[in-house]
Every structure is written in C-alpha cells, then in structure tokens.
Amino acid sequence: MKKLIIKMTLLACCLVLTLSALGSSKQSSSEMQKKKPNILFLLADDLGYGELGCYGQKEILTPHLDQMAKDGIRFTQFYAGAPVCAPSRAVLMTGKKLSTNTIRGNYGLVDGKNIDRIALKMDEMTIAELVKKADYQTAFFGKWHLDYPYDLRTWARGRGFDYAVQEQWDAKIDKLNMFKPNIEYVNGMEKLIEFDYKKWNCKDELRTELALDYLKYQKRADRPFFLFMSFRAPHAREELIGNTTLYADKGWPEKERIHAAKITLLDQQVGRLLKHLEESGELDNTLVFFTSDNGPHIEGGHDHEFFQSNGVLTGHKRDVYEGGMRVPTMVYWKGKLNGGLVTDYMGSAQDFMPTIADIVGLEVPEQCNGVSFSPVLMGKEEPRYDYLNWEFHSMGKNPDHFRQAVRIGDLKALRYGVDSPIKIFDLAQDESEENDIAYQHPELVKRVKDIFENDRTANSAFPYQK
C-alpha cells in the first residue's frame, strides 16, 4: 500500500490562447496579441457523436451548444484521445497520442501484478504547465482522472492549476477509506464541498455555480483566465440527479429520461457560463472549445441506441470503432471566428496542446506528437495527418480487451486482440464500418500491422493483454 502524500507542490499555471495565430480577417496579429483572450475549455463525459442537435439528435434538446456550433466551427471528423476516460484525458492534457502515452487505460499494472490507477508522470508537461509562461490564471472544475488518489501532487491543483475543484471519481476503489462520495475537493484537501442532489439539478450545476463564483469573485489582477470545465454528464456514475421533471412527459424508461436530462442540463450549464461572460463583457474576448472524452456509454442499463447516440456510427465507449472515439467538437469565439463553418479536418485530442502552443507563440514540447489545427481556425488550408492511430488496454483476460486502430485518409483499420485479423473499412462509402475490405488491400494490411507493432512505446503498466 502506497504512503499517502499530503504535502502539495503547487505548480502555478495558466492556459491561454492568444489570437495572434488565428489570423482572423477581422483583426490584425498585433491587435490580437495585445488582447490576450480568455479561454474556456468544455469537456463532456461519455457524450456520443449523435447526442447534440447540431450533430443530428432529434429528441434531446441542446439549444446552447447548437447555437455555439451555428456561430462557430464544427468538426465532423474529430476523435477523442481514447475510447475511455483516463487515457483520453491524458492524451488531451499532454499532447501524447495513445500509443505513446503514460496512461492507456483506466487501470494499469503496478509492480507487474497489481491493478491500480496510473497517474501522469511529474516530468510530463500538461497544457496548463506549458502556457504558464503566457501569464494566465487557471482554474479547473470537475473530473480530473489523471492522478493517483493518495498522492496530492498528481491532482489537478498540483499539475498547473491555480485553483482546482475536483472529485475522486470512484470511492469504491478507495483502499484507505479516505474519500467520501459526492464530495468536491477544493485545492487538494484544503476544503470539502458536499453535493446534495436534492438541492441541485445535477452535479454539473453545482460545479458551474462554483465556476461562476470563481469568475465573479476571484481576484485576477486583470490577467486573462483559462477555465477548464470537466463536466460529469452524461456519465453513468451520476445515477442520481435532482431534476425529476425534465422529459417526464415523454414516457421514456427512467434510465433514458435521466440520460437525456443530464445532456440537456449540461447544455444549460454551458448557457449559464456563456451568459455570464456576455453580461460581464468578456465573451468577445473568450475563445471556447467543446469536446467529449469518448463515445457514449452502455452502462447502468442505458441503451446507447435508444436516442441513436452515435447516429450511423458503430460502437460505443471502449470500442475502437468510430462510435467509441469520434466525438462532437466545436470551437467558438464571438465575432472573431467565421461562424457556421463545418470542417472535415481529421484530428484528435493530442492536437489541443500544439494548437494552443501555436496560438500562444510557445514551442511545442518534445513529448507532443499532435498537429496544430490553428490553420483550420483561420480558414486556411487544413493540416493533414499521414495517419492517426490508437491502442486501448482494459486489463482484461479476454484477447479482445487489447484493441488497436489506425485511420489513413478515408480508410480505417482495426483489430481486437494482438493476434486477431486486421479489418479495413472505407469510411467514405461505409461510415458504419459494416463491410470489411481487408482482402482487397493486402499491402495496406501489412502497413497497418507495422504501425500497430512499431508506432508505439513499451509501457510496463499497459503491456499487451492476451
């Protein structure tokens, strides 16, 4: 059992996106550099590609996010870093793709035998630590999921955030019986806030209230802010929500009503944040990102097909089919970006770090292997990957529990298990990945196999699972 580390090493941080790299026709580079915009990063938890109105959802109402898509840039070919929470967030925070990341599953091997939570290494730079040089203040609210719970240095507060309110996401694995359910931990264990679902519509409403208090009352010395909102919805573990009336007239099963309500309530929290920024005069100088950490879940009795959570895509959370990894993604900046743009740029969560570094004017850390999509925001020629690749470890004994995928142009290859056959799909003709055409591409199968075996680093915590 590991010793609890109570002493915190405070790593001050800020996350910024200066607009110098955006090159909007509405502003010159010098003007944009001077303004140093705020940045609001919104991350949903297990939100499927088809669960927003702007991505084709017909039943669940998401008016604020739909308006953001209408007024901003909407991505149709953007991927999460992984098909499950912890590794996806690790990819986003470090710019390291999944096959080279420290975290490749929600749990990993410790000392070659014990399965436990794996934290980011202390020498791995987070986005927050990277942009600290730009003199921004930062705050984090919600699910961190990149720590070892008993080492406070690995919590959000210790990884570059000046102010952090986070949960310990699963009290059931608490070996020391240290963490209480429904508790928000402020700046490590400096202060505890209890969530009462009878008082709030949902956990995200409480966290948004805390974020609004931060924006209203935190002394920021006229410095721009980076605010990372790591929402809980629509993750299955938020089983209890205070709202018992939303969609009650639909006659849906209660599990599905709660699922839909969580998404609409999430949308409402986004609306609250944007409204505050509008009323405070800061929205014009705030760049907003929205994405999800993976595809929709099938947990707790929820049926991901009930609302067509992935549209025509196949798969769900933990799958390397499109449904497990392709996620709704938008970028919005009132009056600064050309609204209504829909882009098929093929990107992934490792692109956030280089994009932010590019826009801020900082060098991209050597650890990062993403690509900056700032040209997409400028309306210029889109950068292109030779390929994107992923691998996923779930620490199971089933051979299928180790999964790999690669996308090369319109072609997508995957295999479930180290020794399993490689399947290939043409997404341009077969977006649902129903027709395996590997037999037509023997040379591509060889190339994909080489990528699977060689474009990765060894990781003792996440060995091949057979």
Distance CA 58, CA 143 (A): 28
Domain residue limits, the chain: 19-385, 389-454
Q: Which pLDDT tens digit goes with each residue over 413-458?
A: 999 998 899 999 999 999 999 999 999 999 999 999 999 999 999 9
Q: Which two tokens stand for residue 278?
A: 């509008």
- Identify the CATH class of 19-385: alpha beta
Q: Which pLDDT tens digit goes with each residue over 362-407?
A: 899 999 999 999 999 988 888 889 999 999 998 877 778 899 999 9
DSSP H/E element including 131: helix 127-131
Residue 164 sits at the vertex; the CA angle it makes with 158 and 169, to the nearest 5 degrees, is: 90
Residue 317, classified by CB atoms within 10 Å of its CB into exposed (0-12), middle (13-18) or buried (19+), is: buried
Q: Which two tokens stand for residue 451?
A: 């990528």
Q: Which pLDDT tens digit goes with each residue over 149-169?
A: 999 999 999 999 999 999 986
CB proximity list for 453: less than 8 A, separation 6 or greater = none
Q: Which pLDDT tens digit goes with each residue over 187-226?
A: 999 999 999 989 999 999 999 999 999 999 876 667 889 9
Place of tokens 């984090």: 140
Q: Which pLDDT tens digit goes with each residue over 338-350?
A: 888 999 999 999 9
Closest residue by Cα to residue 345 from 321, 375, 323:
375
Mean residue pLDDT of the chain comes to 89
Count, residues in the chain: 466
191 phi, psi to nearest 5 deg: -155, 145
Instruction: Name the residue with higher pLDDT: 361 or 226.
Output: 226
One CATH from 1.10.10.10, 3.40.50.1000, 3.30.1120.10, 3.40.50.620 for 389-454: 3.30.1120.10
Between the alpha carbon of residue 13 and those of residues 10, 65, 123, 246, the distances in Å are: 9, 28, 15, 39
pLDDT band at 171; cut points 50, 70, 90 = low
Domain pair 19-385 / 389-454, same fold: no
